[in-house]
């Protein structure tokens, strides 16, 4: 039987857990319609702010770090700000998008960033009146700073202020309110607890980091000569950590975001407790563009069917009880690395990775091959992980988990 990939979040049915994050792909009604047509279960509109500086973009505003690793391992480095509309103009865009979403069984979230407590409540109510299903508070954007008031990541780094804003918004609207958390200069767990007490119905975990990259010839910061946001596939382990930590202690639905690149990232996010999974970088930086949405949906369904999961809830959170405390990890089992001589090309590199002196080389049928002394090998896993020929594997009395290296 084919697995059911729908999910219920705060009483709202999502036909699938793939949600387009609040960013460029949801920058206006036209592009939100593209997200709907691409198969998304939900969309979070680009964040609106009354701050004029956040509505006017710089050029250029996107670049790539570690480009040689693209499309597998790279960093997106960018400084695109918030929606290029006034709140009143944005409300009209949301009305059009909300109508299209309802006709196509897609959940639409608004996203706001205020400059005063009064404006937070006013903007929340204005967004609700457009017909959106839920609202996300952007307490994680890496860009807003030096504005004279707390905004984005700077606001999210202050749990008490985050809770104060959350309460104002929750008191102003009847729809569910999600809070987008930051891991910059704060323990997200503390903020999560505070905003839950203030009335938040869900959490988005976790936003990109503020960062700085330079031009080596001049020392000038890239792009707009200020701090920018950095993310990419490498963020997945960081995101998974916080989803797991928050999810096992706080009883709120979590939307996982950042580090989502391939369909396995979607599965892993759900395994650590996420109800929905947000995507942005994959839509903007991958060769498949919006086609990634349907790939996520299809591959998730195929995986669940193959593994015998009938629905998302059977898969969600299966990792949580398998996470051990540091004092209880297995320190007794001894594993060793073993060379597959048929694959070894005698490159001589692996000897550099061994800090136990366990690797040497000998000739086999006239060709130099690596060999590992099992009496010296302490099973650290470094050589098996790094071998470019996959000529080294690990063996032991229990299953070994090094990952699939993808």
Which CATH number covers residue 260? 3.20.20.70
Q: Is 400 within the bounds of a domain?
A: no
Assess whether 155 and 33 both reside in one domain.
Answer: yes
Which CATH number covers residue 350? 3.30.70.20
Assess whether 347 and 219 both reside in one domain.
Answer: no
Assess whether 368 and 298 both reside in one domain.
Answer: no
Assess whether 273 and 310 both reside in one domain.
Answer: yes
Domain boundary at 322, 357, 382, which? 322
Q: Is 22 within the bounds of a domain?
A: yes
Assess whether 342 and 366 both reside in one domain.
Answer: yes
Domain boundary at 299, 322, 345, which? 322
Are 244 and 320 spatial neighbours (Cβ–Cβ below 8 Å)? yes
Nearest to 133 by CA among 43, 52, 232: 43
Assess whether 305 and 360 both reside in one domain.
Answer: no
Assess whether 265 and 342 both reside in one domain.
Answer: no
pLDDT computed for residue 77 by the predictor: 98
Q: Is 49 within the bounds of a domain?
A: yes
Q: In residues, how long is the chain?
A: 406
Assess whether 65 and 213 both reside in one domain.
Answer: yes
Domain boundary at 288, 322, 356, which? 322
Are 296 and 286 spatial neighbours (Cβ–Cβ below 8 Å)? no
Assess whether 303 and 347 both reside in one domain.
Answer: no
Assess whether 190 and 318 both reside in one domain.
Answer: yes
Are 341 and 369 spatial neighbours (Cβ–Cβ below 8 Å)? yes
Q: Is 402 within the bounds of a domain?
A: no
Are 25 and 280 spatial neighbours (Cβ–Cβ below 8 Å)? yes
Assess whether 195 and 285 both reside in one domain.
Answer: yes
User: Around Cβ 338, how many Cβ atoms within 10 Å?
Assistant: 16
Phi, psi for 293 (deg, rounded to 5): -60, -50
CA 2, chain centre distance (Å): 27
Q: Is 401 within the bounds of a domain?
A: no
Nearest to 109 by CA among 203, 183, 196: 203
Domain total in the chain: 2
Cα–Cα distance list, 342 to 192, 389, 396 (Å): 52, 10, 21
Range of the domain at 382: 327-395
Q: Is 404 within the bounds of a domain?
A: no
pLDDT computed for residue 140 by the predictor: 82
Are 231 and 76 spatial neighbours (Cβ–Cβ below 8 Å)? yes
Residuewise pLDDT in 10s, the chain (406 residues): 899 999 999 999 999 999 999 999 999 999 999 999 999 999 999 999 999 999 999 999 999 999 999 999 999 999 999 999 999 999 999 999 999 999 999 999 999 999 999 999 999 999 999 999 999 999 988 877 777 777 888 888 899 999 999 999 999 999 999 999 999 888 999 999 999 999 999 999 999 999 999 999 999 999 999 999 999 999 999 999 999 999 999 999 999 999 999 999 999 999 999 999 999 999 999 999 999 999 999 999 999 999 999 999 999 999 999 999 999 999 999 999 999 999 999 999 999 999 999 999 999 988 999 999 999 999 999 999 999 999 999 999 999 999 998 7
Assess whether 355 and 305 both reside in one domain.
Answer: no
């Amino acid at each position: 039987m084919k697995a059911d990939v729908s999910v219920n979040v705060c009483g709202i049915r999502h036909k699938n857990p793939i949600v387009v994050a609040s960013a460029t792909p949801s920058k206006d009604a036209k592009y939100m319609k593209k997200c709907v047509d691409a198969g998304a279960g939900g969309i979070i509109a680009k964040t609106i702010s009354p701050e004029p500086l956040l509505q006017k973009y710089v050029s250029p505003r996107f670049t790539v770090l570690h480009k040689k690793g693209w499309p597998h391992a790279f960093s997106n480095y960018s400084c695109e700000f918030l929606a290029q509309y006034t709140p009143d103009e944005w409300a009209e865009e949301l009305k059009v998008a909300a109508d299209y979403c309802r006709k196509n069984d897609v959940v639409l979230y608004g996203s706001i960033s205020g400059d005063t407590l009064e404006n937070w409540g006013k903007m929340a109510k204005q967004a609700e009146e457009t017909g959106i299903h839920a609202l996300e508070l952007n307490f994680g954007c890496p860009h807003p700073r030096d504005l004279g008031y707390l905004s984005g990541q700077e606001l999210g780094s202050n749990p008490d202020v985050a809770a104060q804003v959350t309460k104002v918004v929750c008191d102003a609207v009847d729809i569910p309110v999600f809070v987008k958390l930051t891991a910059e200069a704060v323990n997200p767990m503390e903020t999560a607890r505070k905003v839950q007490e203030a009335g938040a119905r869900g959490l988005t975990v976790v936003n990109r980091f503020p960062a700085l990259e330079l031009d080596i010839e001049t020392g000038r910061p890239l792009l707009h000569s200020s701090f920018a946001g950095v993310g990419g596939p490498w963020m997945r382990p960081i995101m998974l950590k916080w989803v797991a930590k928050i999810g096992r202690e706080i009883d709120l639905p979590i939307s996982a975001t950042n580090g989502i690149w391939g369909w396995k990232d979607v599965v892993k996010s759900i395994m650590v407790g996420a109800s929905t999974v947000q995507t942005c970088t994959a839509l903007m930086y991958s060769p498949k563009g919006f086609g990634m949405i349907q790939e996520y949906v299809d591959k998730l369904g195929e995986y669940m069917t193959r593994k015998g999961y009938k629905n998302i809830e059977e898969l969600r959170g299966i990792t949580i009880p398998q996470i051990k405390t540091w004092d209880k990890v297995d320190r007794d089992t001894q594993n060793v690395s073993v060379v597959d001589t048929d694959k070894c090309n005698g490159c001589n590199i692996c000897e550099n990775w061994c800090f136990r002196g366990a690797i040497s080389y000998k000739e086999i049928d006239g060709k130099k091959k690596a060999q590992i002394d099992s009496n010296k090998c302490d099973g650290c896993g470094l050589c098996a992980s790094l071998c470019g020929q996959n000529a080294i594997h690990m063996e032991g009395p229990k299953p070994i988990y090094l990952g699939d290296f993808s």
